[in-house]
A and B are shown apart, each in its own frame.
Chain A
């Protein structure tokens, strides 16, 4: 195969000559990659031809920020996590709170196991959302896949989604072919995704051939949305206004399982194993790949000295309302689970539900100028 050809050619140079300059870098890859590891892995490639240089290119090209630790590497296919485990296992451990190569990950998409979640105060919780990603077994991932693979993924996705009915009945909008009217509507609904501009993604090759085989599917009610061929094969999103996370999670689990059934029927299940859970492009999304969150008004709590500590103890993270790397507007924050690997979907959404409930109660206390000291939670 041509890709292996190039790596064979590269082997005539020494590991020292090829080793990247990571002296200014602050990302998980740069912290873990030693010359020994590089030398051990540089001669290998996955069956589809993905190499260690392919894995790390995005981390080499994006030195990072002193305050924000990015992962600095991507997988090109399912086998990347096996062939390059000497590099990826320590990165996974760093990123996922010490997760060991021998640990097992539990998947639980039984929405009935979630307790509560239907009573978050809508005066504070403006919207609720759960997202995850799924990769289709047998295909390489967005950093590496060819146009033919990407198109087949799109085709299979369209077929699978077309079988959905009832609350899940919907329509697919390919990026290359939507009308101006459709585009405007998708923008107004905040559904439309753009060609990636972040160098974290472009340097990993995920924007190649844009917008070929990319698209958006959503149900008629606009509460269940699937992105095709953006950063992962599929991103699946359930959302609605208000604080009924229970309902959002129910729809999320039900829809996901229906989609998975259809893919399995065509002998294309999702990439999953009992150690890493759902296999996705970025190691940070392994496990559940789940980010469950709310947009919640916490103007007082967010300026409280202990806000960050409370979030850490609740195993939650904050973002601005524009998503990752944006600032909050008007005291409204996006609060979601910090964990992905080592706990189940139900566990993670439970943490969001319980944590947000507590924080809203704290906000109410602070409104009355009362202390919240006795409400500070223990580390989960």
Chain B
């Protein structure tokens, strides 16, 4: 009886059609007129957005007015690829993760190895002194890098933010960064104000980010009003870099040539804590909670939002048929040296952590350190004609 009442309410609201034969199979037995056609789709949103969940969530919105249709638009518009499963939805604000939990919880579980945010807690640990063996053999490791994102609590995220909010994110962040000193002292380059000379320098340093062209981002509304309130900050030594208002409020990057991941991670943690202290002095804070860790635009970046990686040369190992399995068991992923969705050049790979949520920053960077050291050991063995072993997968995987 209550199911019929629910149906009747949806019919009155024009969300449910009595004509269930319209378009055949894209309309289920409920006849939802608004339910997206996800028949060709391969992304996490499409896997979990049942008509029942859609019916339950479709007329809810966050306090700022962000809706389910907005959150899933990118996944509807980008069916995905049979081999690559994207997330297929974004958050427009911190409350998205609560209001649309019926959809996001299972997506988070799928994307983050069964992490159940209703029962588990996420550990945050930015004490870089705990990292050990973080210096790589520089005959193999060409560069080391750690990145994460941070969102400013109280302001909507890039898919939903207004121009005023975006400009406020810029103001708050630039203000905080201006307080950094010593090896972290640096300068802000606004995308709308930079000179041609500055732009060329940033391109040469490989720091400049472009207006997003990926439809995954544009369909989510993240390129609106470009380049208003977007910019790049970096320290004078060019080892600590912050992107403002690209895919997240801020992306924080620590990097340097060579294999000193320990120093990279030290600077990363120090810089992040300094920036946090600065914004707190002005009454702001980062979006964080103990279930989901740091809140970012894409559910795939929840938790630590951390990707720690190296560019490493592995000519023999990369040709070994066991390479992929070894990476899997080490909880590492490979990318080309141009970043996500690029191919490797020669035998130099970008190797980084797969996981983001459920383990701390220290744990994940340690995983990368241990894993890369193992890969280098394999490479050295193969050089000497010795055999290598595929490491056991971690417990619970």
Contact = CB atoms under 8 A, between A and B. Distances in A.
A202 interface: yes
Given A207-B77, A208-B73, A14 B164 contact: yes
Interface residue tally on B, bucketed by range: 35 or more
Interface stretch (B82-90, B102-110, B218-226, B298-306): B218-226
Nearest to B69: A146
Given A13-B164, A209-B76, A2 B61 contact: yes
B164 A17 contact: yes
Contacts of B33: 147-148, 151-152
Interface string B260-297: 00000000000000000000000000000000000000
Contact of B61 (A5, A10, A146): A5
Nearest to B34: A148
Contacts of A14: 164
A44 to B, nearest CB: 16
A202 B73 CA distance: 13
Given A6-B64, A151-B23, A17 B163 contact: yes
Interface string B1-19: 0000000000000110100
B347 interface: no
Contacts of B134: none
B37 interface: yes
B225 A60 contact: yes
A210 B164 contact: no
B385 interface: no
B34 A147 contact: yes
Contact of B225 (A20, A176, A210): A20
A229 to B, nearest CB: 13
Would you call the interface of chain B mostly helix, strand, loop, or mixed? loop
B65 A8 contact: yes
B192 interface: yes
Contacts of A10: 162, 164
A3 interface: yes
Contact of A21 (B15, B73, B168, B192): B192
Contacts of A2: 59, 61, 65-67
A7 B59 CA distance: 17
A195 to B, nearest CB: 9
Contacts of B61: 2, 5-6
A9 B64 contact: yes
A17 B34 contact: no
A54 to B, nearest CB: 11
B254 to A, nearest CB: 31
Given A18-B162, A61-B223, A212 B15 contact: no
B228 interface: yes
B34 A61 contact: no
Contacts of A212: 36-37
A207 B218 CA distance: 11
Interface string B209-245: 0000000001100011110100000000000000000
21 contacts: A2-B61, A2-B67, A6-B65, A13-B162, A13-B164, A14-B164, A17-B167, A18-B162, A20-B228, A21-B225, A60-B225, A147-B35, A147-B36, A147-B37, A148-B14, A148-B15, A148-B33, A151-B22, A151-B23, A210-B77, A212-B36
